[in-house]
Structure 1
Amino acid sequence: MPHHGADARVAIWYPPGAGGTPTLYADNPVFKGVEATLDADVAPGDFPVVLFSHGMGGTDRAQAWLASELANRGAIVVLVNHPNSTWGDFDMTEGVRHWTRAEDLSTALDMLIDDPVLGGHIDRSRIMAAGFSYGGWTALSLGGMTGNLEGIVGVCTAQIETMEACDMLLSDDVSMQTQKPETWNASYADPRVTLAAAIDPGFVWGLDNSDTAALVPGPLLIGLGDGQTRMSATNFVESGLVALLNGAHIVQLAPAFHFSAMPLCKPDAPAILEAEADDPVCTDPPGTDRVAVHSAIIEAIADTLGL
């Protein structure tokens, strides 16, 4: 990633042909892994591409469940670990520079197109930018939406007690309010992107019509939770974003909450996370079926891709 002056991990999932080595991927004491085959041949044909961006402090492994299913249905899925906002590589002073994440995905797409094997299997008419949480904003940005620094800082300042992460974003260390508007508000669209999908996207407050005018048509917005379980910072309805979009496909999933888009959890996961004073990412609202939530997300994105 030349714009970072650093390397970044990129995981590529694709429709498998013959051969390869079966493995359990992204398995750990907290999260259940997914079955994968390493280094299999590529199935014959041309496939849509999904450029996927993880959330703040996430990794490519966090949505391996989604990449695996989309690949099995006939998509190439490229997941990028964004420098400075990845688990184990977290510096939000740099990570708040949201445009670098869009540049990460564009660089990964360059790499994919130039790949001597996978590059010949790309359906250029179906290239989707997709993401979860902060990565949902990255996807919308790559699809043509532009930021509004004055708008988001104004909302964060007014609602710092109730808007998740605003206290961090406005802190002296991160200082979102001192970013340069001409950089924050510029377009980081990739003209090769034809589709966009965002799962509980961040930075959806304080936008206006000019910020959404160039977004690719028919974006998919997936919201998690309702009422008390809906995260304010990612509420694309209350923020007014949906009202700015024509032809958007809206999917609202409940019971659920923001972290229901994380992997399936093992039985001891809540106790492990509590002992480590980590986010309760495995404590879904009562009645939530995380398998069903994942299935609904997979179906919505697959439908948008025409799979």
Structure 2
Amino acid sequence: MKIHRTISTACRYLTLLLFAQLASAVELNNAVGIQHQTIFNDSYRPLDITIWYPTSAEKEATLTADNAAFQGTLAAKNAPLKVGNYPLILLSHGYRGHWRNLNWLADLLVKKGYLIAAVDHPGTSTFNHDADIAAQWWERPKDISRTLDWLQHSVWSSYINSEQVSAIGHSLGGWTVMLLAGASVDAHAMRTFYNKHPNPRIESVANEMKLDNPEPMLAGLEDSRINKIVSLDLGLAHSFSVASLKQILPSVMVLGAGIDIGDLPVDIESGFIARSLELPTNRYKIYPKATHFSFMQLCKANAYELLEAEEQGDGIVCLDGEGVTREQLHDEIFQDISHFLTSEE
């Protein structure tokens, strides 16, 4: 009996060791690398970009995009890229946002086998806010196209599946990726709508970007290399001409927040886009318990109080609907996006 117990204990030990090794292998295979760099340094508009990618290197991962208020994710900085040919996703942040806002989504997508690149848009980012630069609104979609140009002519090019390029944007980033899809700005239509349906928050952004007095470049910002678009609770939807929305060719998924924070009613903004699109491959979904900020990174336990102490009203970015956690919302959002990106329609 004693020998039997010894053998049984040894078997259990070996089984646990095997499971540990398998878990380690899975973790290694799903490891995420990250790089930050500035491209087009010598141009009129240098761009700070962040790239997430699969890596199999045994390099220690550290928390990235983590601070006192927001949870980060694990990534190995400057780890070598795992050999492969990956679908590419380009990310666009919201008004006064930055690459960290969709860090959670980038992390999950890399673990599914994607290569992700995000740009901090000059003039409308957290750390580079300038009204004169923001007024050059057409540069936002061009930032994404220029990032794609650079990737396709760099060491990354051989790892990118150029037949599978998508763009995802949140808030003003959602507006930006719609321009990449082929939407064009119609200043008269925008003014007519918001005169009848005033929205001070959206109009203040429109005024800063000078959408009432746009440059002659009202069209031609689409990028035919991008074949799928995901818009996350966008604003300024009525700055687009309906005619241009009806002619969009890439497949589009429009996701909206069901809880209005006071300036982005989903039916008026995301719903307008969804109703205007004509392709049968388009998708539209509302998350009833999500707010506009539910699409951003996870908040830590004391984040609301911390942000309110710094600036009253800022804590709203950590509020979601009752009876649901942001992590649960992220899981549903990710599953919907993943299904859309992999569908062959």
TM-score, normalised relative to structure 1: 0.89
Q: 1:40 to 1:202 in 2, by over 3 A?
A: same
Look up the match of 1:121: 159
Aligned match of 2:211 in 176, 180, 193? 176
Structure with the bigger RCO (C-alpha within 8 Å, sep 6+) is: 1
| Deviation of the 1:164 alpha carbon | 2.8
SS in 2 for 1:41: coil
Deviates more, 1:21-30 or 1:92-101: 92-101
Look up the match of 2:87: 48
Aligned match of 1:166 in 194, 199, 203? 203
Aligned 8 A contact 2:124 2:134 in 1: yes
Look up the match of 1:282: 318
Aligned 8 A contact 2:181 2:250 in 1: no
> What is the correspondence of 1:137-148 to structure 2 with a 5 Å cutoff?
137-148=175-186
Provide Cα deviations, 1:113-167, integer angstroms capped at 9, x if missing partner. 1222x2111111110011000000111111222222211222233333x353313
Q: 1:11 to 1:238 in 2, by over 3 A?
A: closer
Aligned match of 2:252 in 219, 222, 228? 219
Deviates more, 1:217-226 or 1:100-109: 217-226
Q: 1:97 to 1:271 in 2, by over 3 A?
A: same
Structure 1 residue 291 corresponds to structure 2 residue 327: yes
| Deviation of the 1:15 alpha carbon | 1.7
SS in 2 for 1:18: coil
Provide Cα deviations, 1:45-67, integer angstroms capped at 9, x if missing partner. 21111111000000001110000
Q: 1:179 to 1:120 in 2, by over 3 A?
A: same
Structure 1 residue 18 corresponds to structure 2 residue 33: no
Structure 1 residue 195 corresponds to structure 2 residue 236: no
Structure 1 residue 31 corresponds to structure 2 residue 48: no
Structure 2: distance between partners of 1:174 and 1:304:
31
Look up the match of 1:241: 273
Provide Cα deviations, 1:93-116, integer angstroms capped at 9, x if missing partner. 421432101111111111111222
Structure 1 residue 136 corresponds to structure 2 residue 169: no
Structure 2: distance between partners of 1:237 and 1:130:
17
| Deviation of the 1:176 alpha carbon | 3.1
| Deviation of the 1:168 alpha carbon | 4.5
Number of residue pairs matched? 300
Name the aligned partner's letter for residue 164 of structure 1.
Answer: R
| Deviation of the 1:238 alpha carbon | 7.2
Aligned 8 A contact 2:92 2:173 in 1: yes
Aligned 8 A contact 1:47 1:75 in 2: yes
Aligned 8 A contact 1:141 1:188 in 2: yes
Look up the match of 1:108: 147
Aligned 8 A contact 1:237 1:243 in 2: no
* Identical residues among aligned pairs (%): 27
Deviates more, 1:129-138 or 1:247-256: 247-256
Look up the match of 1:254: 288
Aligned 8 A contact 2:87 2:115 in 1: yes
Provide Cα deviations, 1:158-210, integer angstroms capped at 9, x if missing partner. 333x353313433xx65432223x32x22201121111111011221254442
Aligned 8 A contact 1:133 1:201 in 2: yes
TM-score, normalised relative to structure 2: 0.80
Structure 2: distance between partners of 1:93 and 1:157:
25
Larger radius of gyration: 2
Look up the match of 2:342: 306
Name whichever structure is richer in helix by fraction.
Answer: 2
